Structure 1
Amino acid sequence: MSEVEDLPSLVSIQPEATVSRTVLSEDGLRIVLFAFDKGQVLTEHTAAMPVMLQVSEGRLLITADGRDTELVPGKVIYFSTRLPHTVEAIEPSKMMLSMFDTRQH
């Protein structure tokens, strides 16, 4: 069993920056926390495995599959492997990225 407490406190929003920190890396799952200042962007990219995004603070604009979606606390977005997407901070925000490694070991 692994546990991580008080996730939002483990990253802080920095002026004009995007900050990331891996907080859990276990068989089949990696959790990375991100903190974005307003206006910060992760340009279009893909993930080599399925991922899930959740916001703990703020609002993010997620663009994927030809659609824009606002990600707010309480909402979850799931992407299949290699789906191109962008992330833009509408306001200072904190996000949890869960990466699911489905490859056989």
Structure 2
Amino acid sequence: MNATTFLDLAEQVTIPEDGTISRTLYQDDRLKAVLFGFATGQELSEHTASMPAIMHFVQGEARVTLGNETIDARPNTWVHMPAHLPHSIQARTPVIMLLLLLKGAR
């Protein structure tokens, strides 16, 4: 088996001046790793995922709503979300976030 490595996640995505970008870094039958870049002020409106997920904020600051709770995410903030939890993200600064979708867990 070959290992998949990224020595600097921030180098894997260029944050747009106005918008959001995503890049799938890895995917198999149990995990999908997606790197997001959000411009300041960009938002991912409230939604749910059918599987548990982990958000790891690599760079920037964002307001994250998790059900009825709101947190201020900054570099190295780590969030585990159960399946079907309503959540949203609003970038306060340019943000890079790694999303891990745990496809093998329900």
Give the TM-score of the pair, scaled to structure 2: 0.91
Distance 2:58 2:49 in 1: 21
Q: Percent identity?
A: 32
Distance 1:62 1:39 in 2: 13
In the alignment, is the contact (CA less than 8 A) between 2:62 and 2:93 conserved in 1? yes
The aligned residue for residue 30 of structure 2 is: 28
Name the SS for the 2:10 alignment partner: helix
**Matching of residue 91 in structure 1 with residue 93 in structure 2:** yes
Query: Where does the alignment leave 5 or more consecutive residues of structure 1 unmatched?
Result: none
The alpha carbon displacement at 1:21 in A equals: 0.6
- Larger mean Cα displacement after TM superposition, 28-37 or 94-103: 94-103
The alpha carbon displacement at 1:65 in A equals: 1.7
Match for residue 43 of structure 2 among 36, 41, 44? 41
The aligned residue for residue 54 of structure 1 is: 56
**Matching of residue 78 in structure 1 with residue 80 in structure 2:** yes
Query: Where does the alignment leave 5 or more consecutive residues of structure 2 unmatched?
Result: none
Could you give the per-residue CA deviations for residues 54-101 of structure 1, whole angstroms, max 9, x where no partner exists? 111101111012111011112201110011111100101100000001
Counterpart residue type for residue 72 of structure 1: R
Report the aligned-residue RMSD.
1.4
Distance 1:81 1:41 in 2: 20
Aligned length: 104
Match for residue 10 of structure 1 among 6, 9, 12? 12
